[in-house]
Structure 1
Amino acid sequence: MSNLLEKCCLIGESVGGDPTHFMIERALDDLGLDWRFLSFETAADRLAEALAGADALGFAGVRLRGTLADKPPAIASRTERARRTGRITHLTRHDGVLQGDDATGPALVEALAEFGDPTGKRVVLLGAGGAAPSIADVLVECGAALVAVADASSDRAAAVVLAAQTQRSDAAPKDSLACEVRPLAWEGDWLDLPDHVDWVVSTASWPKSDNERIAKVIAPELNDSHVVIDLGIGSNRSPLQLAAAGRGATVIGGLPVLVAKTALAVEAWTGLEVDRAVLRDAAEEFLGV
């Protein structure tokens, strides 16, 4: 038996301002585990090499940050969810090999638990980039009534819709709930939400310079019946969050989703239950909120 400490790491293109390292170190300490957690920066085109190195060095787990999670290399060992979404948020060593998984969808469901589960919900997904495939996937899996995908690029929205529709077709024999999945026209400064929408989920998958403009486009469509989830992370409320609150909508920032996603990764690595409050306190301390 080796007397070396277990190792896990964060890999991203820019990890300096990310609270993940601080959060995971706090979680490992709270669990009483004398593990080592490291952070590494790498370019997207070197990610396959970085993962091969982490695998060869026996890392127990890897957390991928930001855009590296969106377009990971085509590794052989993935969960079924990661295969469907094409994304990997973390990898866990199983049978001597690092296996990729996508925790974004389950993390969203966990973060929204106080507002009910997605079953029967009518949801608009703003932005077809970033986490959009993961969110659409879990909404279909959980039996949402509607998943409408809005993006300035109709091709990108169509790709997310097609992937989700394929999953719905595969699930149809097992699930009597009919989930309507369709694109939603978003032309410049015009967006018309469908009737009776419950949740509006922003992937924040556009340049930050567009935040103010997009918030102004969406705000007139919102009211106090909507729950607005903005997956962006920051020390201040985003323009969308401020605009939604001004319209009386219930607003949730991206922090609860980050907390759940990080907890799910650490639980996969360690097999132990993670205290979400420990992670949230660490993230808020790091971000100064």
Structure 2
Amino acid sequence: MWEELWLPMQFAFMQDALLISALVAVPTALLSCFLVLKGWALMGDAISHAVLPGIVLAYILGFPLIIGAFGAGMVTALTTGYLSDNSRVKQDTVMGVVFSGMFGLGIVLYTSISSDVHLDHILFGNMLGVEPVDLWTAGLIGGFVSAALLLKWKDLMLHAFDPAQARASGLPVNLLHYGLLTLLSLTIVATLTATGLILAVGLLIAPGAIAFLLVRSFGAMLVVAVLVCLGAMLGGVYLSFFLDSAPAPTIILILTAIFILAFLRKTLFRQSSVSI
């Protein structure tokens, strides 16, 4: 039995998949806490979908795909912020318009060229086919994003919770705002190979939402989110080997199941408190 359980670890592609899962889990989990606290869940969804035209243009011009993805992500973030600040349209509506327009542009560009890059790998990831350059990219970007969030987590928390108080306290609100958007774009680039564009949004929302239901302090929320995301990603990759399923959807299903359990626990605890 132990030999069968250890069987996935004997394959190099499974080892690489587990490694990139661990590298991606920390920055996505940390960032998800700020996105949930700030109400930016749709921003992660918008940017993750809107980087597609940047990827296609980078392929056409012969640039690294991550440069195109990051550039498109920043254009989306800045455009969304400008339109929401200079119009009466609410931010979630602006994000929906920008994200759908960018995603549509990416599909049109992709279908207009001859490419050996399969669209499924861009949309859903190719975790079982990662290369050394993907591991280095995820490690370097993930390390930078994690370090930046941990060094400035108190300032970012105040900015997310109460921007007016953050401005009154003398914090560089604009720098924090666009800095968080930059980190979001970088994180999506880091997860591009692991989960693709569509499933990346699950990693940017679910860990923070689960931790928000389980703990009360923001510091504990960061720790719980990282542990939940790391466990779900490693467990999802491992289980996918025996279930003969794709790793990324398996990870998202595990995160969804954990969220449902956390929600039920919160609901039962509230009901028991009321009855007492």
Fold similarity call, TM over 0.5: no
When you count strand as a share of all residues, which structure comes out higher? 1
The alignment's TM-score, normalised by the length of structure 2, stands at 0.27
When you count helix as a share of all residues, which structure comes out higher? 2
The alignment's TM-score, normalised by the length of structure 1, stands at 0.26
